[in-house]
Structure 1
Amino acid sequence: MSVHSQVKRVTTHTLREMKQKGEKIAMLTSYDFSMARIVDEAGVDVILVGDSASNVMAGHETTLPITLDQMIYHASSVVRAVKRALVVVDLPFGAYQGNSKEALTSSIRIMKESGAHAVKLEGGIEIKESVERILSAGIPVMGHLGLTPQSIYKFGTYTVRAKEDEEAGHLMHDAKILDEIGCFGIVLEKIPAHLTEKVSKSIDVPTIGIGAGAGADGQVLVVHDLLGITNEFNPRFLRRYANLYDDIKGAVAHYVSDVRSKDFPNESEQY
């Protein structure tokens, strides 16, 4: 990027500075060029190419089926659109669990083939070795604790995590480990608000909450949920800022009706 460029890139360093100044970080998902361009131009700080693409783009019930190749495809599309935001890509299920060598190989592929800026992994102490190995290659890593959707079959439910003292203690311990080994940020998903606040104050790196209350250093939502493109998902933590499901459906129905009634195209819409 040229030194004369108007847009100042958000970096991992920017996020740490924002936390120190008490400025909240806005993070949103994107999975394709057109949406990412809008999200970036609207001023979002971090764009997550989430494995939630498995749900919202591909229609799977869980995040588990999406492959590394598919994540790289989505990430590449997003990177081509983005001028300002930091682009973080989820390592999909099976691309890092239990094998730090594979974790590094997967991360290198994401960075080289998509041009993204960082990767995100779910888990705490059990992925410590993988995180360290990825960091040793100079690849920034974001952690993810609390509800970890890739472990859905282990937990059996998408309910709030860490409500009990023991699990809360483990989460706090994991957050400190991820901070100490060098993660640049940690997503906290569906945990009690008081725990989020406690974790955020006890570590140096920014926390990004989803369904984790206002005590996090930033917030993340799935863009399709925020825009009301998905209309069957209504958790307590979701605020809808638009109702595009109905808007888009209405526009398409209008188009169908205009074609059938021979109203479209009219004389001024042809050559």
Structure 2
Amino acid sequence: MNETQTRSGTRTIPNVLTIAGTDPSGGAGVQADLKSFSAHGAYGMSVATALVAQTTTGVAQVHEIPAEFVTAQLVTLLDDVRVDAVKIGMLANAEVIRAVVRFLDDYAPPHVVLDPVMVAKSGDRLLATEAVRVLREQLLPRVDLITPNLPEAADLLGTAEVTEIDGMRAQAERLAGLGAKRILLKGGHLAGESSVDALYGDGSTELLSEERVVTTNNHGTGCTLAASIAALRPQRQEWASAVREAKAYLGDALRAADRLDVGHGHGPVHHFHRWWK
């Protein structure tokens, strides 16, 4: 069911907001988030935090949007439109992170997913080092689910990247100790025929395994997964269901990705694989 309940008790299509940077090639950031929302029957909205000159081969330049204009976008939108879920991606600097924290405190959207974007797949750093502390201390405790990959988890914890599943369990628990309510720690960087993620919440960890898809068209997978979870959560009873369904969708989008011919590097996943024949 692609509907959510409003305060009046009627059923309506959920409105889902992404707060993130852009990607002109369409595979990551705001563009990927909006595609993911649409693929899950949600109405997508966006607030840009940075204009990123990037393609499938890497990041050329980042123009950081001033924090006060990020705030203006958020306030203007929320004064008019109901928001049922939020996905947060690239924030670029400490001032923008603080602006998003104030937004969450003032408006208290019901479901918030944070993809702590720090480094692009090309290796380009997207979150200033000094901003990691602000994200860790102020933003992490205010969201409902964070979706770090293994390098991002290590960065948040100030420790080495883990190389096995038991280490993933331990790091997920340590992230909870920082105030994160739920953690989906993505294990795609580990070796093996399966890709295993650790979903931690309410004191326990569930391992979610999917067949590893071999393709170079994997640009924006983190954005797509987090955005899919945000779009699905208002339509599902609990977080685990939204996470499992989003993971299955991403697996299919990766398997269909080679049908696309976009760029010369890491191409995008196929967000509309279910509909485009």
Return the TM-score normalized by structure 1. 0.42
Between Structure 1 and Structure 2, the one with more helix by share is 1
For CA contacts below 8 A with separation 6 or more, give which structure has more relative contact order: 2
Return the TM-score normalized by structure 2. 0.42
